[in-house]
């Protein structure tokens, strides 16, 4: 789980450990700028060479800071895998702090082909945002 804000992408990482057949999957972790202003939303998806469930990410959050946040996609392991990031228009119900920005800055891309590690029912990769989980 990556916290409630900025990413609604918990479906990509939630649930019980995957079955043994999932060993042919890789974690594709995309780092992006999360901030309280001047950032927008994006859809991250596997474009070619591999398959994954697309996720939508909202980089706007309430914290008065700007820092790197991560979202994880589970992709089929292949020799080549192209991941695409598509900026999305602002939601119709724009509130305070939400402008018409479509800025979405990718700051990291990490691929982990090793099996996931589980600690007390939580994925090790999910602990990347342990500060947010404690808030």
pLDDT digits (tens, 9 = 90+) for 69-100: 999 999 998 888 999 999 998 877 655 555 66
Question: Does residue 113 surpass a pLDDT of 60?
Answer: yes
Concatenated DSSP letters of the chain: ---SSS---GGGT-SSPPPGGGGGEEEEEEEEEEBSSS--EEEEEEEESS----EEEE-B-SSS--EEEEEEEEEE--S--EEEEEEEPPPSS--TT--S-----EEEEEEE-SPPPEETTEEGGGGGGHHHHH-
What pTM did the predictor assign?
Answer: 0.66
Q: Name the one residue in this structure whose structure tokens are 């999305």.
A: 88
Q: Give the Cα separation of 11 and 6 in Å (integer).
A: 14
How confident is the model over 13-68, as pLDDT tens digits? 433 344 444 448 899 999 999 999 899 999 999 999 999 999 999 999 889 999 99
Round to whole Å and give the CA distance between 112 and 85. 19
């Amino acid at each position: 789980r990556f916290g409630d804000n900025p990413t609604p992408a918990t479906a990509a990482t939630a649930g019980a450990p995957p079955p043994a057949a999932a060993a042919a999957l890789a974690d594709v972790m995309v780092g992006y700028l999360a901030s309280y202003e001047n950032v927008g939303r994006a859809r991250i998806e596997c474009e070619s060479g591999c398959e994954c469930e697309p996720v939508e990410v909202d980089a706007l959050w309430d914290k008065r800071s700007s820092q790197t946040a991560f979202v994880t996609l589970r992709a089929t392991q292949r020799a080549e895998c192209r991941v695409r990031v598509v900026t999305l228009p602002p939601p119709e119900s724009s509130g305070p702090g939400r402008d018409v920005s479509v800025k979405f800055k990718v700051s990291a891309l990490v691929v982990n082909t090793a099996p996931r590690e589980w600690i007390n029912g939580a994925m090790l990769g999910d602990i990347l945002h342990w500060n947010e989980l404690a808030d």
